[in-house]
Amino acid sequence: MKKCLSMMLALALTLSMVGCAGGSTNDSTATSGNTSGTTSAASSDPKVSLNVSVPDADNSYIYAAAQEFKARVEEYSGGSLELTVYPNGSLYGGDGNAAISSVGNGSLDIVILAASLYASFDPSFYVISVPYLFDDTKQLQDYLNSDVGVDLFNSVESMGITCMGRWTRSFRQVTNSKTPINSPADMEGMVLRTPSNSLYVEFFTACGANATPMSFSEVYNALQLNTLDGQENPVDVPATNNFYEVQKYISGTNHIADAWVVGMNTNKLNGLTENQQNALKQAAEECQQWYVDYQAEKDGEMLKLLTDNGMEYNELPEDGFQEFVSISQSLYPKFKEMVKNDELFDATVAFCGKA
């Protein structure tokens, strides 16, 4: 896993030289067509408009995935469902906790959010973010589709939300303005922005960093003013937010996995016809693999964008990588306490072969 970004960069460079690189994010949202029995003919079902909120900008991966989801839903429902995608968390003020509450109470129809944000409501979701637990995207996808993963994601039903889709997310990398990260020692004293997630803070503090939770909307300015030294996110986030203007290094730490919950207000879903419900569920399920393939293509392009704009990329040496793994595993007892579900934690660790 630790060499995947460098391989993607090499691939992206090769593709650009032969003129075969993929198009822009917004050009890559065409539906692959109806692959099952759901009708795409004009529907006699009542017309319904739904809003779909995503946290990132309209040049982000998740916005592209939401547009793909929209296209398939509208096709499969025969045009009876009309979806409008809103980027930048604009319908919930960029506050993930508010978004979850709003979709649960019906103020929002559909919200696509990182699974880790649900940990504020159900600590079981911390298990997705255990550092170095998942080896690669394939193992993560297999887990999301396993009985353990499905049961975890379906637990949002207690919040008034139906989980229609479980989508993977690219692994997270560290960027900073001070030094390449080759081992935990390089993070000593580094002021590093993390999401407001106790598990992230625990891990990066153990690595020697000054872990600093901060709203994402404040990160660019904090990096520019050197209030922060660095941040960590999947590679598309620094690329699409122009962090290359305020960061020098990106290191292939591949430290934490995450996933997206495609959540819909349960009452709103139940008020639709059976055909419309099936259209939504089929589109969400199909987009899981679409998104896996899309991210695999785009990660190399995003890394190339960063390096073309002056950032330096390094992959971790094996000994440094293993030091990070060892720190994470030493924290398993604390992580297990955070998850507050021993059976789930043990089942997830066993599934990943880390028991």
pLDDT digits (tens, 9 = 90+) for 76-102: 999 999 999 999 999 999 899 999 999
Tokens 């550092």 belong to residue: 131
pLDDT of residue 163: 98
Over 70: is that where the pLDDT of 22 sits?
A: no
- pLDDT level of residue 29 (50, 70, 90 thresholds): very low
Over 80: is that where the pLDDT of 39 sits?
A: no
Q: Could you give the CA distance from residue 78 to residue 95 in angstroms, rounded to a whole number?
A: 34
More confidently predicted of 81 and 36: 81
**Structure tokens, 72:** 């398939």
CA angle 239, 220, 231 (to 5 degrees): 70
pLDDT of residue 331: 98
Average pLDDT of the residues in 174-189:
98
Over 60: is that where the pLDDT of 13 sits?
A: no
pLDDT of residue 1: 55
Domains recognised in the chain with CATH numbers: 46-169+259-298 (3.40.190.170), 173-256+308-349 (3.40.190.170)
Length of the chain measured in residues: 355
pTM for the full predicted model? 0.88
* 220, 242 contact by CB (below 8 A): yes
Longest CA–CA separation in the chain, Å: 63
Indicate left, alpha or beta for 106 from its phi (over 0: left) and psi (-120 to 50: alpha).
left
Q: What percent of the chain has pLDDT over 70?
A: 88
Cα–Cα distances in angstroms (integers) from residue 255 to residues 107, 170, 181, in the given order:
35, 11, 12
Over 90: is that where the pLDDT of 183 sits?
A: yes
Average pLDDT of the residues in 131-139:
97
Average pLDDT of the residues in 257-266:
97
- pLDDT level of residue 12 (50, 70, 90 thresholds): very low
pLDDT of residue 3: 52
Tens-digit pLDDT profile for residues 315-332? 999 999 999 999 999 999
**b or e along 288-326 (b: 16 or more beta carbons within 10 Å of the residue's beta carbon)?**
bebbbebbeebbbbbbbbbbeeebebbbbeeebbebbbe
Over 80: is that where the pLDDT of 117 sits?
A: yes
